[in-house]
Amino acid sequence: MSRLRSLRAPLVAAVLGTTLSLLSALVISAPARAVDSLSNDSLKTRAIYYLAMSQPQERDVMIGTLAARTSREGRLWSNFLSTWARINTSMAMHTKVPTGLPAKGHVFVVLGSGLKKSGAVSATFQRRLALAAKAAKAYPTSTILITGGAPRNGRTEAEAGYRWLRKAGVKASRMLRETRASSTIGNAEYSMAMLARNPRYTTYSLISDSSHLRRASVLFEAAKVLVQERSGKSWGITRLANVAYPDLPQAGQVPLRTSSVKIAADNVASLFSLLAPYRRLVAKAPAKPTLTSLRLTPPTAVRYQVGQALNRRGLVVRALYDDGVYTRVITSAATITGFDTRTVGGRRATLSYTYRGLTRTARFDYHVVKSGSRATAKASTTSATRSRTRVVLTVTVKPRVTGVQPTGRVRFYLDGARVATVPLSAAKPGVASFRYGTIAAIGSHRLVAAYQGDARVAASSAGVTVTVRK
């Protein structure tokens, strides 16, 4: 027996060693969630971190880099983070059921709360359900989604809330139950996944305590992004409002606390399976990007008339950070100098952008030509007798570009022969008149006013036909 044990021991050790080696290999070869500085997950993690740290420029650099790689995810995250910022700063809390919500396609989402040991609803959950009952009465065609797992005495929060609302008179056909979640993170993830499976749901409003609604709103918006990332399809459900139990003394607007923003950020990172790298960033702040250069796509229009404004169509200015590790489109934030169309000639415009005290520039060339003009002529008469042919011809010159004033002279012609040269009026800009003498010949005659142009406005002409009778 001792011989058998002595043989068995090395065998077991060998098997254990092989098993541990295989497990180690599996761990190493498994897709890592730990992100490096160039991964999309890293960009998202840093964006969450910078939002929590109230560093919007750095946040936008991360999302700009993400958008350069995948426009769809960049757009999703840009919209989400903008919404998150608005939730933090300007989301109102409605202590009464709001008016004006849609009659169709709307869902009231009731956020669960812990149950009593008996499985009965807690005081916190009951006050949320009471608001849900009021909402259901105010909007008889809306759906009520009750959230929450965490069973007590064999009953989930959603099930307990469902029974409470049934007793309050809400029809069973109007209610949905999310029974898996044990936290607000799960409430958001599972509830939004449920709603995404039914296209008739187009809007929603959250029901909870005022101290809880801001974080919950952020998480539900994050879960909306998660649904779209997982499905690869767009989903346009819209958060419209909320119904808040005023558990805090402030009404309408609950003050934003730094701690609550950081808790929300921690929750968002957890929802996207980015919690570990996010907490590493919290423990050791990452180095902020360094602006290294600008990359410019010039505007489509490079030829302008005098007085024309810059046409930004096609203009794209991209900031490069850390020699191209990060990038962000900053077209609207760039400052443009050197664009001047007051005079004719070749020009060079400069675009500049400053980030954390560093300014970088880029340039594009353009050319300015004379403004086109349009001349209109009007005769005092177009039909006259031979004894009364002193026709006054008035010409009005209007540049093609608004705000440009023509100067210079107008030549007047009779049947192709120049008869006078008259300067444009100082009192009436762009206007000149000439009185022709007697036109003796019977028949039709062509009277023409030809504007000669100036340094800024191109030439143009107009004429009328005058008929002389006996």
Average pLDDT over residues 177-194: 96
CA 319/CA 291 separation, integer angstroms: 7
Angle between helices 40-52 and 56-69 (to 10 degrees): 160
pLDDT at 13 over 50: no
In this prediction, residue 110 has a pLDDT band, given cuts at 50, 70 and 90, of: very high
116-142 mean pLDDT: 94
343 DSSP 8-state letter: S
Over 80: is that where the pLDDT of 435 sits? Answer: yes
Look at the block and give the residue holding tokens 């993830």. 189
Q: What is the pLDDT of residue 256?
A: 75
Superfamily holding 92-252: HUPs (3.40.50.620)
Distance of CA 241 to the CA centre of its chain: 20
Do 373-469 and 291-369 fall under one CATH topology? yes
**Among candidate residues 284, 281, 329, 328, the one with its CA nearest the CA of residue 45:** 281
pLDDT at residue 25, as a whole number: 34
The mean pLDDT of 247-251, rounded to a whole number, is 68
pLDDT at 14 over 50: no
Q: How confident is the model at residue 444 (pLDDT cuts 50, 70, 90)?
A: very high
pLDDT in tens, 216-229: 999 999 999 999 99
In contact, 330 and 319? CB cutoff 8 Å: yes
pLDDT band at 250 (very low <50, low <70, confident <90, very high): low
> CATH homologous superfamily of domain 373-469?
Immunoglobulins (2.60.40.10)
Rg (CA), the chain: 37
Confidence of residue 26 (pLDDT cuts 50, 70, 90): very low
Domain ranges of the chain: 92-252, 291-369, 373-469
Residue 33 clears pLDDT 90, i.e. is over it: no
What is the pLDDT confidence band of residue 255, given thresholds at 50, 70 and 90?
A: low
Q: Which residues of 191-220 are buried (b: 16+ CB within 10 A; e: fewer)?
A: bbbbbbeeeebbbbbbbbbbbbbbbbbbbb
pLDDT tens-digit series, residues 353-371 = 999 999 999 999 999 999 9
pLDDT for 28 beyond 60: no
Give the strand pairing for 238-245 and 373-379: unpaired
Return the pLDDT at 37. Answer: 57
DSSP letter at 249 equals: S
| Mean pLDDT score of the chain | 90
3-state secondary structure of 231: helix
Mean pLDDT of 324-339: 96
pLDDT for the residue 253: 60
Q: Has residue 21 got a pLDDT over 60? A: no
* Tens-place pLDDT, residues 42-74: 999 999 999 999 999 999 999 999 999 999 999
Model pLDDT for residues 138-162, shown as the tens digit of each residue: 999 999 999 999 888 889 999 999 9
In single-letter form, the type of residue at position 199 comes to P
- pLDDT at residue 254, rounded to an integer: 63
Query: Top-level CATH class of 291-369?
Result: mainly beta
pLDDT score, position 437: 87
* pTM, to two decimals: 0.79
